[in-house]
Amino acid sequence: MSMDAEQRQDPRVAHPFMVRYYWQDSWHISPLKDFSASGARFVSEHPFKAGELLDAQLILPLARQPIAARARVVWMKPSSLGLAELGVTFELGDTEARQAIEAAVAHFLRKQGK
């Protein structure tokens, strides 16, 4: 299942920043395909199921440190080479984390002229 652009709440930035996610007792890292204030899309070695929760960290150039977030898998589709493309929404309990992501999105949208 894929998420149409019309279903997205926030504008997305297509940039290969990195996301770290915790799975099976270790951290894994993957490039983001795109991200917004409310979620992200990335490729994983692991085919998660819709509804699964991940501990994640966004590694963004404007943030002093990785931004911690809970990420809920909304959809998954198989990708090439046995990988899976995931769409996740962020569950941010921390106002500072939300503000850091929103600031990064706004900055890169301005750079893209959007």
pLDDT in tens, 46-80: 889 999 999 999 998 878 889 999 999 999 999 88
pTM beyond cutoff 0.75:
yes
Burial class of residue 100, CB neighbours in 10 A (0-12, 13-18, 19+):
buried
The residue whose two tokens read 């299942």 is: 1
Per the structure, the count of domains in the chain is 1
- The per-residue pLDDT for 5 is 43
Asked whether residue 3 is assigned to any structural domain, the reply reads no
Look up the CATH number of the domain holding residue 19. Answer: 2.40.10.220
Domain that holds residue 52: 11-111
Report which DSSP code applies to 13. Answer: B
Query: What confidence category does residue 6 fall into, taking pLDDT thresholds of 50, 70 and 90?
Result: very low
Radius of gyration of the chain (CA): 13
Asked whether residue 1 is assigned to any structural domain, the reply reads no
